[in-house]
Structure 1
Amino acid sequence: MNKEGFHVSSFCPDSRGKIRPFIFTDPVNNRSRYPMKRFAPLVTVALILAVAFPLTAQAQMESSSGFEIGPRVTIDVGDIEEFALGGDVRYDLSQNVEAPVQLSGAFDFYFADDQGGTDVSIYTIDLNAHYIFPTEETFSPYAGGGIGITASEAGGVSSTDTGLNLVGGVEFDTGTLQPFVQGQITIGDLDRLGITGGLLFAL
């Protein structure tokens, strides 16, 4: 128990050799508490907007390559329970095949607070395929799945977990700039439940 009255479990391998995150247990409310950098989301949004507007002003034509790329922000409410900043790249397969399918790759770095002098690093890689539901609206809902990789390191001990992704979201067609929101569940030894928002720029 630390001086604030919270029981702290170390970030160390479990019986299966997997690293589990720091857990702060509040003995009064019987709940877990994961510290987050208070102003990180606000700073991230400001940076995204600062990059988005100049790029949007320069881009005047729709994508002909089928590629979209851009920044994203994720809040995990699963086992990680931290804020992440990352990037997303997508390719529209309908450019080559007669099917509304999109391939997606994403990288996220989680802002996990170091505890007790131990450096903590968590990052994830997701490879998904999306089925785009055809609509006549200015937004495109999608659903799909793929593979999610979670890598973590604490105190020189590292662990990698691979899980199954289930994902669903919506892209908003505003021309060259495509905002999106999505939810993703990753089922593995380390379960993730991420809520993500971002901006995609057509190339």
Structure 2
Amino acid sequence: MKKIIVATFFFIGFLAYSQNSQAQAQIGGGLVFGFDIGTVGINVRGDIPVTDEIDVVPGFIYYFESNINIFEVNANGHYNFDAGDTVQPYALAGLNISHFSYDTEILGFGIEADGTDVGLNLGGGINFDLGGISAFAEGRLLLGGFEDFSLTGGVLFPIGN
């Protein structure tokens, strides 16, 4: 699993360095609420323009659950709709790798479990240009073994040129 996370961040760096679009790559994050999981998490993501309409958006989510370790690695594509300069709605689709693990004790017996699953992300959101930084709000449905609906909001900061 660590190899997948490291490879994802190397891929982010490569795309940010080699992107040719006039739009600027961004990095940032925010808060996530997973409705089926029932807990809050943090989101770290990149936003790498490939064309005027398409962005590659890799990300990592860690949920704050007291007894269970839950995290996701996401590789999404955003299709940006032309709506003006300040507000940018988008549709998203992509791949998700979710992992959970826990270690607890019940009646003196230690219980350990973990699992990893691959799923599909579908959803949409809106980017708001705030003059130098961007804010975003997004809804995402995760289809697969770890099915969930989540809402995410946060900020993105420009990187590079």
Q: TM-score range by the shorter chain?
A: 0.7 to 0.9
Find runs of 4+ consecutive structure 1 residues off by over 4 angstroms: none
| 1:136 shift after superposition | 2.2
Whether the 8 Å contact between 1:66 and 1:93 is mirrored in structure 2 is no
- In 2, the alpha carbon distance for the partners of 1:83 and 1:101 equals 28
- Residues 61-114 of structure 1 show CA distances to partners (whole Å, capped at 9, x for unaligned) of xxx672100121000102x121101211110112xxxx5101101111111122
Tell me what 2:135 maps to: 179
Tell me what 1:167 maps to: 123
Tell me what 2:153 maps to: 197
Letter in 2 for 1:110: Y
| 1:138 shift after superposition | 1.1
Unaligned runs of 5+ in 2: 1-21, 104-111
Q: For this pair of structures, how many residues does the alignment match?
A: 131
1:139 aligns with 2:97: no
Letter in 2 for 1:84: G
Tell me what 1:124 maps to: 72
- Report percent identity of matched pairs: 28
Tell me what 1:85 maps to: 42
- In 2, the alpha carbon distance for the partners of 1:131 and 1:186 equals 18
61, 72, 79: which one pairs with 1:108? 61
Whether the 8 Å contact between 1:112 and 1:121 is mirrored in structure 2 is yes
- The alignment's TM-score, normalised by the length of structure 2, stands at 0.76
Unaligned runs of 5+ in 1: 1-63, 115-119
- In 1, the alpha carbon distance for the partners of 2:23 and 2:79 equals 19
- In 2, the alpha carbon distance for the partners of 1:66 and 1:137 equals 14
| 1:158 shift after superposition | 1.7
- In 2, the alpha carbon distance for the partners of 1:65 and 1:177 equals 13
RMSD: 1.7
- Residues 164-186 of structure 1 show CA distances to partners (whole Å, capped at 9, x for unaligned) of 11020000012221000000000
- The alignment's TM-score, normalised by the length of structure 1, stands at 0.61
